Chain A
Amino acid sequence: MTSVQTIYGQVCYTLCEDPPNGLTLGMVTLQQFLDILGVVLLDFCQRTGLVKTIFTAPIKAGVSLYQVPDDLMKPELAFVSGKIKERVTEDDLTNGHFKWRTENGWPRQWHEDNLPPKYMELYPRPSFNGVSYPGTTLPIGKYGDFFPADNNLTMIGAAAPDITAWTLVDSSGNPVYLQAISDVFTPYLVYGILEQIFSADGEMRDLQRAAYCRTRFLEAVTLAEHIAREDLLDDEDE
Chain B
Amino acid sequence: MPSFSLSTIQGYVLDRLDGNSTLYTSPELTYVINECIGVISLFTGFFKNTVQLPGFTVANQRVYTTPNGMLAPVIISFEGRQLQRISLRKLARARKNFLTDNTTSFGPPDFWAPIGIGMFLMSPIDSVGGHSITLTGIGQPPLLVNPTDVIVLENEYVEMITAYCAHRLPLKIGGKIFADGSLELNEFYDKLKQRARYETWISPKYSLLRTALGANSMRPAEGVAAQ
Binary flags per residue of A9-27, CB closer than 8 Å to B gives 1, else 0: 1100111100100000000
Q: Which residue of A lies closest to B96 (CB)?
A: A83
Residues of A within 8 A of B42 (CB): 184-185, 223
The answer to whether the Cβ of B211 comes within 8 Å of any Cβ in the partner chain is: yes
Inter-chain contact B92/A77, CB cutoff 8 Å: yes
Q: Which of B63, B217, B227 contacts A208 (CB 8 A)?
A: B227
- Are the CB atoms of A206 and B99 closer together than 8 Å? no
* A232 in contact with B87 (CB, 8 Å): yes
Q: A180: nearest residue on chain B (CB-CB)?
A: B118
CB distance from B50 to the nearest CB of A (A): 18
Closest CB-CB distance, B158 to chain A, in whole Å? 19
Residues of B contacting A218 with CB < 8 Å? 220
Are the CB atoms of B93 and A84 closer together than 8 Å?
yes
Q: Which of B43, B100, B143, B179 contacts A223 (CB 8 A)?
A: B43
Complex contacts, A79 vs chain B, CB 8 Å: 92, 99
A231–chain B nearest beta-carbon distance, Å? 4
- Kindly specify which of B13-21, B33-41, B102-110, B127-135 makes contact with the partner chain: B33-41
**Closest residue on chain A to residue B181 by CB atoms:** A212
Q: How many residues does chain A have at the interface if contact means C-beta atoms less than 8 Å apart? A: 53
A83: min CB distance to chain B, Å: 6
A14 CB contacts on chain B under 8 angstroms: 171-172
Q: Report the minimal beta-carbon distance from B226 to chain A, rounded to whole angstroms.
A: 11
Chain A residues, CB < 8 A from B140: 182-184
A16-B220 contact, Cβ under 8 Å, with A183-B38, A187-B39: no
Q: B84 touching A54 by the CB < 8 A rule?
A: no
Which size class do B's interface residues fall under? 35 or more
Q: Which of B98, B99, B143 gathers most chain A CB within 10 Å?
A: B99
Task: Report yes or no: B227 in contact with A234, Cβ–Cβ below 8 A.
Answer: no
Q: Assess whether B115 is interfacial by the CB under 8 Å rule.
A: yes
**Given A159-B116, A183-B140, A234-B87, is A145 in contact with B63 using a C-beta cutoff of 8 Å?**
yes
Q: Could you tell me if B224 and A212 are in contact, using CB atoms closer than 8 angstroms?
A: yes
Instruction: Tell whether, in the assembled complex, residue B227 and residue A226 are in contact, meaning their CB atoms are under 8 Å apart.
Output: no
A187–B42 Cα gap in the complex (Å)?
Answer: 12
Given known contacts A211-B224, A227-B117, is B99 in contact with A184 (CB within 8 Å)? no
**Do A54 and B119 have beta carbons less than 8 Å apart?**
yes
Tell me which residues across on chain B come within 8 A of A54, comparing CB atoms.
63, 115, 119
Assembled-state Cα–Cα distance A219/B43 (Å): 10
CB-contacts of A128-171 with B (<8 A): 144-146, 148, 156, 158-159
Decide: A52 and B85 in contact? CB cutoff 8 A: no
With contact pairs A215-B220, A237-B85 given, residues A231 and B114 touching in the complex (Cβ less than 8 Å): yes
When the two chains form their complex, are residues B117 and A209 in contact, meaning their CB atoms are under 8 A apart? no
Residues of chain A in range 91-114 having any CB-CB distance to chain B below 8 Å: none
Name B residues whose Cβ lies closer than 8 Å to a Cβ of A. Answer: 25, 27-28, 31, 34-35, 38-39, 41-43, 62-63, 71-72, 74, 84-90, 92-93, 96-100, 114-119, 140-141, 143, 171-172, 174-175, 178-179, 207-208, 211-212, 216-217, 220-221, 223-224, 227
The 9 closest A-B pairs by CB, nearest first: A52-B116, A84-B92, A82-B99, A187-B35, A233-B87, A184-B38, A231-B114, A215-B220, A148-B99
Q: List 26 A-B contacts (CB under 8 A).
A: A13-B25, A13-B28, A14-B172, A49-B116, A50-B118, A52-B118, A82-B98, A84-B93, A145-B63, A146-B62, A183-B140, A184-B140, A187-B39, A208-B179, A209-B171, A211-B224, A212-B178, A216-B224, A222-B217, A223-B217, A228-B117, A232-B88, A232-B89, A233-B87, A233-B90, A234-B90
Q: Which residues of A contact B (CB under 8 A)?
A: 6, 9-10, 13-16, 19, 49-52, 54, 77, 79, 82-84, 144-146, 148, 156, 158-159, 182-185, 187, 194, 206, 208-209, 211-212, 215-216, 218-219, 222-223, 226-234, 237-238
